[in-house]
């Protein structure tokens, strides 16, 4: 399983670049810290696909994922001076992304439960916001239909490779809750996928 911070395998999109070697990326990061917007655009090209995929799978909404992707990079622009190189830049960036999305989901908690206990699935697909041809894979669509809490645990554990202790810390839930949500997600996905 891919673990957080592993070398990224970027999709085949034309605007998404090849995985950079660490030294090249360090140089880019250093230039961005000095306010170099061209270097920032390079960083964006290198990571936007992975960030968008994470935002989409966590939020379960395509339009929302676009907004969140923008916000991740705007936050990166203001916070990058604090990256001290103790971890891989990609690890740091993806954690920043996950924290931001989870914060948003928690802000939305006022109108819907962050960790739902019901079994109702998200209603999908909406003709305006439903998956595009890029997301025709049945599993991708099924993930978007999961209830929020189950979706977050599945995406973070089974796709992004975080451990339950990390998920619990980021999402503000107990480790046992994270495990329960993951098991529920897997059960629902198996049912949806037949």
Partner 1 sequence: MMNHQDIKDRLNDHVDGSLQDDERDQVESHLESCAECSLELRQLRSLLARAEDLPRAIEPPQNLWREIERQIQPATVVTVSPAQPSFASRFRQWILVGTLGAAAAAVVFVLTSTKDPVGGSGVANREASPSQSPASSDPDYVPSLVQALEYQCMGAGKQLLASTKETESQFVLAAATAFEADVHQLDLAISETRAALEENPQDAQLLRMLMSRYQRKLSVLHRATRFVEEA
Q: Given the rule CB under 8 A, which residues bind partner 1?
A: 1-2, 8-11, 13-16, 37, 40-41, 44-45, 48-50, 52-53, 56, 62, 65-67, 69-71, 73-75, 77-79, 82, 84, 92, 95-96, 99-100, 102-104, 106-107, 132, 134-135, 137, 139-140, 154, 158-159, 168-173, 179, 182-183, 186, 189-190, 193
Q: What does the chain come to in residues?
A: 194
Instruction: Copy the structure tokens of residue 37.
Output: 């917007």
Sequence-separated (6 or more) residues with CB below 8 Å from residue 106: 114, 172
Q: Measured from the CB atom, is 26 or 70 closer to partner 1?
A: 70
CB closer to partner 1 out of 30 and 66: 66
Among residues 47, 20, 42, the alpha carbon closest in space to that of 32 is found at: 42
CB 112 to partner 1: min, Å: 14
Instruction: Note every long-range contact of 92-99, with CB atoms under 8 Å and residues 24 or more positions apart, other chains counting.
Output: 93/47, 93/51, 94/4, 94/5, 94/50, 94/51, 94/54, 94/160, 95/4, 96/72, 97/51, 97/54, 97/55, 97/72, 98/54, 98/58, 98/156, 98/160, 98/162, 98/170, 99/170
Least CB distance to partner 1 at residue 121 (A)? 16
Q: Measured from the CB atom, is 119 or 190 closer to partner 1?
A: 190
CB of residue 73 vs partner 1: minimum separation in angstroms?
5
Between 119 and 139, CB nearer to partner 1: 139
Smallest distance from partner 1 to CB 99, Å: 6
Query: Considering beta carbons, is residue 124 or 179 the nearer one to partner 1?
Result: 179
Nearest distance from residue 139's CB to partner 1, in Å?
A: 5
Per-residue tokens: 125: 């697909």
């Amino acid at each position: 399983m891919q673990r957080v911070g592993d070398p990224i395998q970027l999709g085949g999109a034309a605007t998404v670049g090849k995985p950079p070697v660490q030294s090249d990326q360090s140089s880019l990061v250093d230039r961005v810290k000095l306010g170099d917007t061209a270097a920032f655009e390079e960083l964006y090209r290198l990571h936007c696909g992975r960030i968008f995929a994470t935002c989409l799978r966590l939020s379960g909404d395509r339009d929302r994922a676009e907004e969140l992707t923008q916000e991740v990079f705007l936050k990166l622009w203001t916070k990058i001076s604090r990256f001290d190189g103790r971890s891989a830049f990609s690890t740091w960036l993806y954690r920043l992304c996950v924290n931001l999305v989870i914060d948003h989901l928690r802000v939305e908690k006022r109108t819907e439960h962050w960790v739902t206990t019901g079994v109702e699935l998200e209603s999908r697909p909406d003709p305006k916001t439903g998956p595009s041809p890029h997301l025709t894979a049945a599993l991708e669509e099924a993930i978007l239909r999961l209830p929020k809490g189950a979706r977050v645990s599945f995406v973070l554990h089974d796709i992004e490779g975080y451990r339950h202790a990390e998920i619990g810390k980021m999402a503000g839930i107990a480790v046992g809750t994270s495990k329960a949500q993951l098991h529920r997600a897997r059960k629902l996905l198996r049912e949806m996928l037949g």
